[in-house]
Every structure is written in structure tokens, then in C-alpha cells.
Amino acid sequence: MKTLTAAAAIAILAGCASAPESQATHYWESAKQASENRYRMDNMACQAQTQADQGSAMFDPASDSFDDYRACMISRGYVLRQY
């Protein structure tokens, strides 16, 4: 019985480990060749500004808050590219 329980647990864990994660489809590219540190600061500032203005739906591409976030990043010299 212990062997059967252990085998079932391993099978369940293996199934969870092989579940696909969602992959990013877009990335921000700096038109000004910003450093990684500058990108992080700009990204965090735009996220904070958008969340303060709109709430938590920022990464829903159909939301107004994502449009505001995208506009903020564009105003800081970034271009949204697709992989």
C-alpha cells in the first residue's frame, strides 16, 4: 500500500512539473539603448503610476490600464516588440 501511495504521489508531482508555463510573447526594446538598471527603474515607475491610477488589471492587454502603461513606456523611449 505504501508503494502504491508513493507511486501515485510521484506521478502527480511529475504531472505538475511538466505543465507548460505561459511564455512571454512581447518584450520592451529601448530606442536609446538604456541599461538594464534604467529599464528596471522605468518599468517599475510606469507600473507604479498605472497601478495607482487604474488598479490591478494592468497586464490585461484589453484594459485601459495596459494602454496607460504602454504609453508610459513609449514616452520613456521604449518600443514594444513581438518575439
Whether 31 is in a domain gets the answer: yes
Whether 75 is in a domain gets the answer: yes
Into how many domains does the chain fold?
1
Whether 67 is in a domain gets the answer: yes
Whether 50 is in a domain gets the answer: yes
46 burial (CB, 10 Å; 0-12 / 13-18 / 19+) is buried
Instruction: Give the residue ranges of the chain where pLDDT is below 70.
Output: 1-22, 52-59
Whether 10 is in a domain gets the answer: no
Q: What is the pTM of this model?
A: 0.64
d(C-alpha 62, C-alpha 83), whole Å: 19
Give the domain range for residue 68.
24-82
| HSE-up (13 A, CA, CB side) for residue 72 | 20
Whether 29 is in a domain gets the answer: yes
At 1 the pLDDT is 55
Whether 18 is in a domain gets the answer: no
